[in-house]
Amino acid sequence: MKTADEEIIDWLQLINSDNVGPVTFHKLLAKYKSAKEALGNLPSKCKRFPRELAVKEFDLCRSKGIRILTSNDSFYPKPLKNLEDAPPVLYALGNTEILHHPLSLSVVGARNASINGRKLASRIAYDLTENEIVIVSGMARGIDSAAHKGAMYALGQKGPTIAVLGTGVDVPYPAENTALYHQIAEQGVIISEFPLGTEPQANNFPRRNRLVAGLSLGTLVVEATLHSGSLITARLALEQGKDIFAIPGSPNDARSQGPNKLIKDGAVLVETSEDILHILSMNNHRQIKSYTNKYKETPEQNLFSKAIDKPLKTDNIPVTENIAATKSVREYLSTSGTYVDEIIRNSGLDSATVSMELLELEMNGIIERQVGNKVALIKK
């Protein structure tokens, strides 16, 4: 076995030893300079994790195409290294290069989200991804799922997204999101700090939330009650010095109480993606190149600039055009599944229009995405 592999196994063995959490792990590593030396000098209260089980975990990851990233690994996300309790080990499934994208935003909210909340989360995630901001979320039902879906419909149905799980990276949760899990693994990346096979446990999700916040420049809360995990994520993001964004709602809806309180406390009020782009532009000192919207007479200025010299874009399709396009797109759908490229080719519509109409149909529960860039009508 290679020396590098042995070192990863040392890290797995140390972090899984009794009474060794992330903070203790880093203190031991700082004192003894290597996980191997730390294992040989564990305090009596820290029962060593069996070597053979660490080897088994390593081999299982390799067989499933799951990458183990230690905090010394060049692919380990740099923003997380700033956390005092940064996970020493991350499990990653998918394209780990996405973890180094310089611009990202976490989108969180209620699991029992309203249809309007889900549509808004999807639309904003779509627009931000079109402007090369990677969406980070927790793959929960409701707002999380809607944000991931919106991101993946962008850039010609090739938009990346990052999902952070509170389970093992090999355990899709909730089960209803299994198809979404595979889509994210194909287009983006799924990460977790928990060992393979870890089932959902209530105390794991707040730990997951600190990573959702830590990976992003800011956090957007769409819908959330006052005591929800989404507000925990927002608080953690605030403690990390990140921007907080919130979408206001009716005071009569409990799901609006969280965002409304955040706005009262100083969060940025968000109505469209432009509100977020403007703040990120100012705070990240990026020079705007251009911003075009073919449905408006005048180009928008001073919204957001990107690290590369490429025009920003967004598509705000008028309602009348929206309805006509939806009818046209639906003509090419079936319950057995149709390739998106085939819909674009046969309908004569541009990819952005097709993407948004498919997203609208999915949010309304009419279609579902399938692996391989296909969509299908849901059988009633």
CA dihedral of residues 246, 250, 251, 254 (deg, nearest 10): -80
- The answer, yes or no, to whether the previous bond of 195 is cis (omega within 30 of 0) is no
For 241-255, the pLDDT digits (tens) are 999 999 999 999 999
Which residue bears the tokens 């070597």? 51
Cα separation, 281 vs 356, in Å, equals 25
Per-residue pLDDT of the chain (380 residues; tens, 9 = 90+): 667 899 999 999 999 999 999 999 999 999 999 999 999 999 888 999 999 999 999 999 999 999 999 999 989 999 999 898 999 999 999 999 999 999 999 999 999 999 999 999 999 999 999 999 999 999 999 999 999 999 999 999 999 999 999 999 999 999 999 999 999 999 999 999 999 999 999 889 989 999 999 999 999 999 999 989 999 999 999 999 999 999 999 999 999 999 999 999 999 999 999 999 999 887 765 433 333 332 233 333 332 233 323 333 334 433 333 434 445 788 888 888 888 888 888 888 877 788 878 888 887 778 888 877 788 888 87
Q: Spell out a b/e string for 62-92, using b for 16 or more CB atoms within 10 Å of the CB, else e.
A: eeeebbbbbbebeebbebbeebebbbbbbbb
Q: At what angle do helices 254-264 and 229-239 cross, to 10 degrees?
A: 20
Q: How far is CA 199 from CA 23, 126, 174, in A?
A: 23, 30, 10
Residue 199's pLDDT is: 96
CA torsion sign for 151, 98, 180, 248 is negative
- Domains of the chain are 1-63 (1.10.150), 98-281 (3.40.50.450), 319-377 (1.10.10.10)
Bridge partners (DSSP) of residue 245 are 220, 268
